[in-house]
């Protein structure tokens, strides 16, 4: 019981520390992606982040995943995501966040593994699901952050990803 109380108090105290972004900040970022689907699958992405307050960040992202050195039959796919991240721990200038959100893609192989997906459905040629994000964010300077992020997706282990990227706040002073 004492351990649980310690964890809860630690989490509450971390919310009173410095934030991941300034309130009302809009950040733009680029990411490099490694998929756990196949060895050859990598990707690139772009995102926009809005911090409504110091503790909550809303994220919209577009990713393009493709295979390098694979057969020409293997096609890449597009991925769209919307989510929210909250601060778990904050050791300024490094912040650990976690969040959840919607994930969708146009991968053609999802039909083959759809029965193994946890929470997912298909409309037309588009697959829909949920994701959990865990991110380590480090502020290099006032407008620039770098981060590493792990995404677990309900569409199946095939779609889980690891991202490295940076974000930039054009409005930072």
**Gap between the Cα atoms of 138 and 30, Å rounded:** 15
Domains and their CATH numbers in the chain: 2-168 (2.40.160.20)
pTM over 0.85: no
152: tokens are 């677990």
Cα(134)–Cα(76) distance, rounded to whole angstroms? 24
Whether residue 80 has pLDDT greater than 80: yes
pLDDT score for 8: 44
pLDDT tens column, 95-114? 999 999 999 999 888 777 77
The answer to which of 12-26, 39-53, 97-111, 143-157 has the lowest mean pLDDT is 12-26
Return the higher-pLDDT residue of 7 and 36: 36
């Amino acid at each position: 019981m004492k351990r649980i109380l310690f964890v809860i108090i630690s989490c509450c105290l971390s919310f009173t520390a410095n934030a991941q972004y300034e309130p009302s900040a809009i950040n733009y970022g680029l990411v490099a992606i490694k998929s756990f689907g196949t060895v050859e699958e990598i990707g690139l992405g772009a995102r926009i982040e809005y911090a409504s307050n110091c503790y909550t960040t809303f994220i919209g992202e577009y990713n393009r995943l493709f295979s390098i050195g694979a057969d020409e039959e293997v096609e890449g796919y597009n991925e769209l995501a919307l989510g929210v991240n909250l601060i778990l721990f904050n050791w300024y200038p490094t912040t650990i966040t976690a969040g959840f959100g919607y994930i969708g893609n146009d991968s053609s192989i999802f039909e083959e593994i759809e029965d193994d997906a946890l929470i997912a459905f298909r409309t037309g040629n588009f697959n829909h699901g949920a994701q959990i994000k865990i991110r380590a964010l480090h502020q290099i300077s006032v407008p620039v952050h770098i981060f590493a992020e792990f995404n677990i997706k309900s569409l199946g282990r095939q779609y889980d990803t690891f991202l490295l990227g940076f974000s930039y706040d054009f409005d930072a002073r």
